[in-house]
Amino acid sequence: MPPSITSFTDEALIALDTLVGRAGSLVQPTLRLGVTGLSRAGKTVFITALVHNLIHSGRLPMFEAARSGRLARAFLEPQPDDAVPRFQYEDHVRKLVQERAWPDSTRAISELRLVIEYESASGWNRFFSNGRLCLDIVDYPGEWLLDLPLLGQDFRAFSDSSATLARSSPRADLAAPWLAMAAATDPKAEASETHARDLSRLFTDYLRACRADERALSTLPPGRFLMPGDLDGSPALTFAPLPDLDASPAPKGSLQAMMERRFESYKSVVVKPFFREHVTRLDRQIVLIDAMQAMNAGRDAVVDLERALADVLACFRPGRSGLLGSLFSRRIDKVLIAATKADHLHHESHERLEALVRRIVDRAADRIGSTGAAVEVLALAAVRATREATATEKGEALPLIVGTPLKGERIAGRLFDGEAKTAIFPGDLPESPDSFFQLLDSRGQVGLPEINVVRFRPPLIEETDGGIKLSLPHIRLDRALDYLLGDRLA
Ligand SMILES: Nc1nc2c(ncn2[C@@H]2O[C@H](COP(=O)(O)OP(=O)(O)OP(=O)(O)O)[C@@H](O)[C@H]2O)c(=O)[nH]1
Ligand SMILES: [Mg+2]
């Protein structure tokens, strides 16, 4: 066979392949779910628990399709994008269930396709065939989300906002080494790679210190500085903001010019493609928020969380801001804001947690002048690591939670070994979120409610008589599923 014909056949095959793929996605309904959230918010745990509960027919009474017995089965299938690593579902489950350990922090993007076969609720649809929905889920390091707001800034604006933030009260001490070096730097001097690297390193150290547990701050762009993925050491990451730039343009060959160029390539080569290829193709979003950790760390952490959310939410309004309008190819039609790790509180406080998170989000939305899109807020725990108990103290019932603290956790001076269980009083959230925010807004450091956040190990999963492991326990994961998937399984 002459070579030209072979290549013709190859091309035809590829074309046919694409065509079949396209046609496939037409007859095969697909839903792309974005699991969004700042770093450590619980995205990886959420995805693992969601998939585990669907595959193993977990207890999902508030998920209508499950309750009515219409879910036939769910299973994993090869994901659609060959170039994206697969979400290591099996590894995460093994770690959670067998080792009773949480997954590691996510270092790169990954994707998973779950196929859900169901019986249609309407008689008419059922007449034709059973339904099949492909759920594509994307997981990525939470830090990268913070890059979204950078797309609307030039280097000068980025430098200004970074410097203002770095000089503010909860950060100034951590930022001192970087600010001192930046102050001694002449932006108009000749560019030097060593100098750029030193500035970038000190700036990254400062961001890393802000993220540490005691401060638990959230607004920390550029995201790849903390989680570089495969770009570690690349010139696109070797830059830093330059505070107090004067209005004159950067001279050719100067440090300022070099930093500007690198900041622009960071946006165009790193940030934009990531959002275009992943975030903007989503149909639905769940935004996970760890308000507990912020409250535990105090006022500054809550304010900073609110700021980070405002920055990010501002970008999620395609069309309006114009900033990302051209990037969004689909419209996100449902957003669920979930206050995660609700198992850290007694259920009596869950409504209060929801109210608080709703207010944090509202205030964030107010600040960006949004009309308040229809979003749902829910307090949930993707994996429930505690159970509840009550103690009586001086004739009063005290709501407690019981769990196994992680090895190395310290509560009231007692060091835990990862085996011993304990009961703690998690603290009371204020009845009305207003009082919380009044305290928050009064600049004094007076008493935000005392919340005790202890890191517990994942729960022990018991086996039934038949030796079958039960699925991962949760709090309101079923409600989240109902909101996010329910209408697509009708
Ligand atoms: N008790 C409890 N802890 C949780 C839950 N979900 C997450 N956590 C805790 O939060 C930590 C972070 O969860 P991840 O799912 O790894 O968070 P992530 O959003 O994927 O974080 P990055 O990958 O760093 O962006 C875990 O190591 C757990 O300690 C939950 O449902 N209950
Ligand atoms: Mg993760």
- Overall average pLDDT of the 432-442 stretch: 75
pLDDT at residue 64 tops 90: yes
Higher-confidence residue: 330 or 35?
A: 35
- Overall average pLDDT of the 136-156 stretch: 87
Q: Around 234, how many Cα atoms within 13 Å sit in the side-chain half-sphere?
A: 15
For residue 104, which atom of ligand 1 is closest to its CA?
A: 16
- Overall average pLDDT of the 257-278 stretch: 91
Contacts for 39 with CB less than 8 Å, ≥ 6 apart:
105, 141, 142, 143, 211, 226, 227
Are 354 and 476 contacting, i.e. CB atoms less than 8 angstroms apart?
A: no
141 lines ligand 1 (CB under 6 A): yes
Structure confidence at residue 211 (pLDDT): 87
Residue owning the nearest CA to atom 6 of ligand 1: 42
385 lines ligand 1 (CB under 6 A): yes
pLDDT at residue 260 tops 90: yes
Tell me which ligand sits closest to the C-alpha of residue 104. Answer: 1
211 lines ligand 1 (CB under 6 A): no
Contacts for 4 with CB less than 8 Å, ≥ 6 apart:
none
- Overall average pLDDT of the 178-205 stretch: 96
Long-range contact set of residues 392-401: C-beta below 8 Å, sequence gap at least 24: 398/425, 399/346, 399/348, 399/425, 399/426, 400/346, 400/424, 400/425, 400/426, 401/343, 401/344, 401/345, 401/346, 401/426
Among candidates 344, 456, 459, 345, which has minimal Cα distance to 406?
Answer: 456
The alpha carbon of 122 and the centre of ligand 2 are apart by a number of angstroms equal to 37
Tens-place pLDDT, residues 284-326 = 888 898 988 888 888 888 888 888 888 777 766 544 444 455 4
Higher-confidence residue: 467 or 204?
A: 204
Q: What percent of the chain has pLDDT over 70?
A: 84
Strand order through the sheet with 110-118:
71-77, 110-118, 131-139, 30-37, 284-289, 334-339, 375-379
Contacts for 118 with CB less than 8 Å, ≥ 6 apart:
65, 70, 71, 72, 130, 131, 132, 133, 489
Are 462 and 470 contacting, i.e. CB atoms less than 8 angstroms apart?
A: yes
Tell me which ligand sits closest to the C-alpha of residue 383. Answer: 1
Strands 131-139 vs 375-379: parallel, antiparallel or unpaired: unpaired
- Overall average pLDDT of the 370-398 stretch: 82
Structure confidence at residue 77 (pLDDT): 94
Structure confidence at residue 124 (pLDDT): 62
338 lines ligand 1 (CB under 6 A): no
pLDDT at residue 381 tops 50: yes
Lowest mean pLDDT among 315-319, 376-380, 441-445: 315-319
CA–CA distance from 316 to each of 27, 34, 135, 337 (Å)?
A: 29, 12, 21, 13
- Overall average pLDDT of the 161-169 stretch: 94
* Best probe residue, ligand 1, of 227, 341, 460 (max atoms within 8 Å of C-beta): 341
Are 373 and 446 contacting, i.e. CB atoms less than 8 angstroms apart?
A: no
44 lines ligand 1 (CB under 6 A): yes
Q: What percent of the chain has pLDDT over 90?
A: 48
Among left, alpha and beta (phi > 0; psi -120 to 50; other), residue 481 is alpha
85 upstream amide cis, omega within 30 of 0? no
Indicate the average pLDDT of the chain: 84
473 lines ligand 1 (CB under 6 A): no
238 lines ligand 1 (CB under 6 A): no
Radius of gyration of the chain (CA): 25
383 lines ligand 1 (CB under 6 A): yes
256 lines ligand 1 (CB under 6 A): no
Residue owning the nearest CA to atom 21 of ligand 1: 40
What token pair was written down for 116? 């859900």
Residue owning the nearest CA to atom 26 of ligand 1: 102
The alpha carbon of 423 and the centre of ligand 1 are apart by a number of angstroms equal to 21
Q: How confident is the model at residue 76 (pLDDT cuts 50, 70, 90)?
A: very high
CA–CA distance from 456 to each of 95, 200, 261, 297, 408 (Å)?
A: 15, 36, 45, 17, 11
Tens-place pLDDT, residues 85-126 = 999 999 999 999 999 999 998 888 899 999 999 998 776 665
Structure confidence at residue 172 (pLDDT): 94
The alpha carbon of 140 and the centre of ligand 1 are apart by a number of angstroms equal to 13
Are 346 and 399 contacting, i.e. CB atoms less than 8 angstroms apart?
A: yes
Tens-place pLDDT, residues 5-48 = 344 454 455 455 445 544 555 568 899 998 888 878 999 999 99
Higher-confidence residue: 400 or 327?
A: 400
